[in-house]
Amino acid sequence: MNYDLIIIGGGPGGYSCALRAVQYGLKTALIEKDLLGGTCLNRGCIPTKTLLFAAGLLAHMKDGLTYGVAAEGVHPDYDALRKRCADVTGQLRNGLTKLLKQRKIDIYAGTGRVTAEGEVTVTGEDGDTVLTAGDIVLATGSVPAVPPIPGADLPGVYTSDTILSDLPELSRLVIIGGGVIGTEFAEVYSSLGTEVTIIEAMPRILPPMSADLARHLVADFRKKGVKVIAKASVTEIAQAEGGLTVRYSLGDKPAEVQADGVLIATGRRAGVAGLTPFTFEEERRRVVINDKCQTSVPHIYAIGDITAGFPQLAHTAEAQGKIAAAAIAGRDCGIRLDLIPSVVYTRPELASIGVSEDEAKASGKPYQVARAMMGANAKSLIAGEAGYMKLIADGEGRLIGAEFQCEEASNLVSEATLAIASGMSASQFVSIVRPHPSVEEAMGETAEGLLVFSK
């Protein structure tokens, strides 16, 4: 069968690319070896956020008297949690499948491999099917990266994939890795009543985000009983009576912690092995692309977690998928990949966009920072969430960065992204009337702290 475009991988990048491609009139095939929706929908973003919502609900109910509601006997039901995750992911996956079929996108179930120039072989239950196309998009995502720690294959040791599929009930959980995945699972399990310890090799958790956000999260975790051990290297996971022992080095000092389960959350590895017979330009085992998502091989594009230089996020993949589809159709969709918001769905949420305060300082250029503590925000106080908000402006008063630790941070960061992309000044940002009471109104109040520096 001949197509204009073949996409290997049906995750957020792949299906977004397919949906945009057919809008441009391209005959499109989408290949997926597992479940449509990819890691994000089935083993990542969606089930994790479903659990985080339930965990937050449980925490609020346990603390109900603070809000004037008395609740007794509130506890997690793991069977119900598993069912809820399955129901949410199933409903979204079914909706996605229907949408793809409505748009006349041909879906092939099986493993896709580029076998020659313009040729893809799909290996499925019924054998091999050969497809041809003028252009091919690789959107095969990533898999959990497991470092060579002795004992990493023991029962009770999980990756982000397996802990979501099993959702074990644990009294003590050790998380190796303090990135986004590790901190979100720490939030979930601590809210469910588990004793959680995070072991991070770097000087602090959340290395890609600002030191301020990491510091505030550690303070919040401490209040919730989550222990964070930074600058620590795990040396071994060993079987112990009644559970597991995680041994680590803290400087020159050996130490250990006991657990019923261990989650290895040390990042994700690009899934490109055996994908094509071609050699791509790579960086740290991820494919290098240009601004149109083209690889170094003609007519082959790459998007999502396999691409070098971009954060491994679902919305990154979606944006790249639309860019690739437009490029193949000879168009420009105008999406900017230099402004990709980052979010951590702890309670309260963390989010950032653009230039951080540390980056602004390191640049040597004039800049100013304004901050607001959310304890003075009525909506945050009502919800029992504290945190802070920060806006960064350049020497001309234009907004260049923002970060949030507050309720609804995942929504607020989009307003900041729009302001930065539009080149708005602090005075223009303040001119917007925001509703009261709302968490959002704190953005205007924070920007007022920059007015004296803007033109």
Using one digit for the tens of pLDDT, what is the confidence trace for 172-207? 999 999 999 999 999 999 999 999 999 999 999 999
Tell me which residue of 312, 317, 315, 391 sits closest to 354, measured CA to CA: 391
Within 8 A by CB and 6+ apart from 62, the residues are 71, 74
CATH 3.30.390.30 for domain 348-453: yes
Estimate to the nearest angstrom the gap between the alpha carbon of 211 and the chain centroid.
18
Output the pLDDT for position 453: 47
| Helix/strand/coil for 337 | coil
Q: What sign does the dihedral 113-115-121-127 (CA atoms) show?
A: negative
Output the pLDDT for position 455: 47
**Catalytic positions, please?**
436
Tell me which residue of 433, 416, 436 sits closest to 424, measured CA to CA: 416
The verdict on whether omega for the bond into residue 150 sits within 30 degrees of 0, i.e. cis, is: no
Using one digit for the tens of pLDDT, what is the confidence trace for 255-269? 999 999 999 999 999
In the chain, CATH 3.50.50.60 sits at 2-143+269-328, 157-266
Within 8 A by CB and 6+ apart from 405, the residues are 213, 216, 217, 348, 349, 350, 374, 387, 388, 389
Output the pLDDT for position 129: 97
- Assign 3-state DSSP to the chain and report helix, strand, coil percentages, each to 5: 35, 30, 35
Name the residue type at position 22. Answer: V
Output the pLDDT for position 89: 98
Using one digit for the tens of pLDDT, what is the confidence trace for 394-423? 999 999 999 999 999 999 999 999 999 999
Is 80 exceeded by the pLDDT of residue 23?
Answer: yes
Q: Specify whether the backbone of 357 is left (phi greater than 0), alpha (psi in -120 to 50) or beta.
A: alpha
Q: What does the pLDDT average to over 292-301?
A: 97
Output the pLDDT for position 48: 97
Give yes or no for a contact between 9 and 139, defined as CB atoms under 8 angstroms apart: yes
Estimate to the nearest angstrom the gap between the alpha carbon of 294 and the chain centroid.
23
pLDDT, averaged across the chain = 95
Q: What does the pLDDT average to over 433-441?
A: 96
Q: Show the tokens assigned to 419.
A: 């302001």
Q: What does the pLDDT average to over 377-382?
A: 95
Q: How far apart are CA 174 and CA 256, in angstroms?
A: 11
Burial 208-244 (b: 16+ CB within 10 A, else e): ebbebbbebbbebbeeeebbbbbebebbebeeeeebb
In the chain, CATH 3.30.390.30 sits at 348-453
Is 80 exceeded by the pLDDT of residue 135?
Answer: yes
Output the pLDDT for position 438: 96
Is 50 exceeded by the pLDDT of residue 88?
Answer: yes
Output the pLDDT for position 452: 62
Give yes or no for a contact between 306 and 180, defined as CB atoms under 8 angstroms apart: no
Within 8 A by CB and 6+ apart from 94, the residues are none
Q: How far apart are CA 127 and CA 1, in angstroms?
A: 15
CATH number of 2-143+269-328: 3.50.50.60
Q: CATH says 157-266 is which class?
A: alpha beta
Output the pLDDT for position 208: 87
Q: How far apart are CA 98 and CA 101, in angstroms?
A: 5
Is 90 exceeded by the pLDDT of residue 52?
Answer: yes
Q: How many CB atoms lie within 10 A of CB 265?
A: 26
Q: How far apart are CA 292 and CA 302, in angstroms?
A: 9
